[in-house]
Amino acid sequence: MKSPEQKQFYSITELTREFEVSTRTIRFYEDEGLIQPVRRGRTRLFKPSDRRLLMLIMRGKRLGFSIAEIREIISIYKEPPGETGQLKLLVQRVIEKRDQLLQKRKDIDETIAELDQVEEQSLGRMAELGVGT
Amino acid sequence: MKSPEQKQFYSITELTREFEVSTRTIRFYEDEGLIQPVRRGRTRLFKPSDRRLLMLIMRGKRLGFSIAEIREIISIYKEPPGETGQLKLLVQRVIEKRDQLLQKRKDIDETIAELDQVEEQSLGRMAELGVGT
DNA sequence: GGCTGGTCTTACTTTTACGTAAATTTTTAA
DNA sequence: TTAAAAATTTACGTAAAAGTAAGACCAGCC
């Protein structure tokens, strides 16, 4: 039994709709080497693996990573099992990226806490004024 | 008793050192209206409140927010108590920003989980090869 | 068979967030 | 008071990440 709705290929516009980006953007990521769709004639055909890469890219963008940084992250996932020296390096890179992410999470938590305060005060003030939310 | 080391004013270079940015960058943020240092003659004098704003700005940058978005966040904090309509709007804005941040945190947690997997596999493979970390 | 919609390449343009340089002034310290 | 260090304004330059436009090519279809 095949998994439900595993398409062989996606067209470029299908993906632009799913990810809400332009064709230019997707072609740009190809130019940058982040994805490598196959071709039928000149037309690009995107496999599920390309789609998954796009998901990774979008997530990286939401987190404020540059294309170069996203390329790094992708390369971490792609790294083959490799031999000892490579493995140590890979683990090093994982640790560095994770530290970056943990810093970001700290920043996020602080900001959320501050926003919560603003909200609380606002609601308090509204209650004083006898306003229903 | 005054709090320890509460300076009256900071010079621009003091701040460039603390935040590791250039003078150009700090003046740029002033042009953008994010901070408004006072002047003694032509020279900018930065109060502790300006410094706190710079901390906010840097945090926003780490999270991948644009100057425009950082301006929004700052404006949320600055909003005066205000009257009812304004308060409701403010709470709305808080909720939106928080949602954005929660999305980012989700993205971060997913990415970290994936990196953890890569690390685990690498360490496993190294153990097989009989390598000490 | 002529339109509509999707796709392609090439190439110029734009926005954001500063970098860099030049030419002055101002401040600080010896 | 004078030299060095720090600050200022003005203005052009740049890298990243796309936007936009032009011109051409197919495929389906009513």
Tens-place pLDDT, residues B85-123: 899 999 999 999 999 999 999 999 999 999 999 999 999
Q: To which H or E segment does residue B39 belong?
A: strand B38-40
Separation in Å: C30 C1' and B42 CA: 25
Mean per-residue pLDDT, B9-17: 97
Long-range own/partner contacts, residues B85-92 (CB < 8 A, 24 or more apart):
B87/A122, B87/A125, B87/A126, B87/A129, B87/A131, B88/A126, B88/A131, B88/A133, B90/A118, B90/A122, B91/A119, B91/A122, B91/A123, B91/A126, B91/A133
Separation in Å: D8 C1' and A16 CA: 48
Give this prediction's pTM.
Answer: 0.92
A27 touches strand C (CB under 7 A): yes
B86 touches strand D (CB under 7 A): no
Question: Pick from A91, A115, A125: which is nearest to B94 by CB?
Answer: A115
Residues A98-131 pLDDT 10s: 999 999 999 999 999 999 999 999 999 999 988 7
Nucleotides of C under 7 A from a protein CB: 6-11, 16-20, 25-27
pLDDT of residue B3: 41
The token duo for A5 is 């709705």
Q: Do B59 and A111 lie within an 8 Å CB cutoff?
A: yes
Which has the higher per-residue pLDDT, A132 or B59? B59
Residues B36-74 pLDDT 10s: 999 999 999 999 999 999 999 999 999 999 999 999 999
pLDDT of residue A7: 80
Q: Who contacts A107 (Cβ-Cβ below 8 Å, separation ≥6)?
A: B59, B62, B63
A51 touches strand C (CB under 7 A): no
